[in-house]
Amino acid sequence: MDFSLSAEQRELTEAATAFARQELNTDLGKHEDAGEFPREAWRACARFGVQGLPVPAELGGAGADIVTTTLVMEALGYGCRDNGLLFSLNAQMWSIELPLVIFGTPAQQQAYLPGMVSGDLIGAHAMTEPESGSDALHMRTRAERRGDHYLLKGIKQYITNAPVADVLLVYAADPDRPGLAGLSAFLVDAATPGIAVSSSFEKMGLATSPMGEITLHDCLVPAESRLGPEGAGMAIFNSSMEWERSCLFASVAGAMRRQLEACVAYARSREQFGQPIGKFQGVSGKLADMYVRLEAARSLIYRVAWLKAQGRSAPAEAAAAKLFISEAWVRSSQDAIQIHGAWGYMKDAGIERDLRDAVAGTIYSGTSEIQRVVLARMLGL
């Protein structure tokens, strides 16, 4: 594997970092305190081309390869302090856009992808339910065939982007086909009669990423809204999760780099007992650990991206990357607060935000516990 960047990749990542610093951090504290979705920042990302990175050029996207896309997302995480905005972007790109690219019909792709690329449409991935998170086998949302339509009934919970979404990718089970073979996916306009979406939940972190509940009450959708064939829901879901676990945490690696640089600068400037605190082993050891976590995270991400670029499936590598990086970010965020001391614990410092945001990474896209189960099974256990 060649880890060197091409001139084009270097130029693009530098531009992405500069763009993020200039346009994506405005009024972050205000948006976070109010739990507001930064729509103008979302549109700015679309103008820069973020949402279009993994989308083919003929559908309005950039058609960037996965390695380049990963590098750009890492650069955004480095320059942008709004982890919630980046999470919402990643949620749409990997769990809505990519399934449309891979499984969508030309009509479905034309209906939704250009709008998502331009920032005019926002997508939400509706899988999780009150009684069914990782356990898709016990999904209660139903899709009953009614001639050339389906009748959808059920509740989806903890859905990222739901309160602001224009289109929903809803997973539902056929009551006449038990098991995962009866699971299908449907592209549903949020304005469809029978759909009710809650206001955004108040969360520990990722405050600018809206999350809500979707209720489908006798929601009638045409058969051409089904994504892929009947019973392909689990294949679509697994594909989207592999892509999400492969690419979402590139932004986290960028955040970890930003975090480390801030800690090093503080350790050099803050003095106690007549010398910079970075001279004390208790502090320098934490910085060394943060560096190792960052470099390991980047290596995992780049390897998965390289495998995907070769057209190879990488479920184990993606699960390992997701597991390690999500937990590494939590530990490094704790170290960052400890290095900054009382100031790091203050909200105004902006240091504690990363810890609040990082905890969610051990839960979304499959909990750490689920990733360990996945890896153990692949080891033959």
Of 169, 177, 168, which is closest to residue 142 (Cα–Cα)? Answer: 177
Write out the DSSP string of 214-275: EEEEEEEEEGGGEESSTT-HHHHHHHHHHHHHHHTHHHHHHHHHHHHHHHHHHHHH-EETTE
The torsion angles phi and psi of 180, rounded to 5 degrees, stand at -65, -20
19 vs 14: CA distance, rounded Å: 9
User: Going by DSSP bridges, is the β-strand pair 183-189/275-276 parallel, antiparallel, or unpaired?
Assistant: unpaired
- 244 belongs to the catalytic site: yes
85 vs 50: CA distance, rounded Å: 12
Q: Taking a C-beta distance cutoff of 8 angstroms, is the pair 297, 322 a contact?
A: no
Virtual CA dihedral for 8, 10, 13, 16, nearest 10 degrees? -70
Q: Taking a C-beta distance cutoff of 8 angstroms, is the pair 351, 255 a contact?
A: no
102 vs 88: CA distance, rounded Å: 20
Contacts of 272 (CB under 8 A, 6+ apart): 280
Q: How far apart are the first and last CA of the chain?
A: 30
123 vs 247: CA distance, rounded Å: 17
DSSP H or E stretch at residue 306: helix 281-309
Catalytic residue among 244, 271, 295, 317: 244
3-state secondary structure of 133: coil
Active site residues: 244
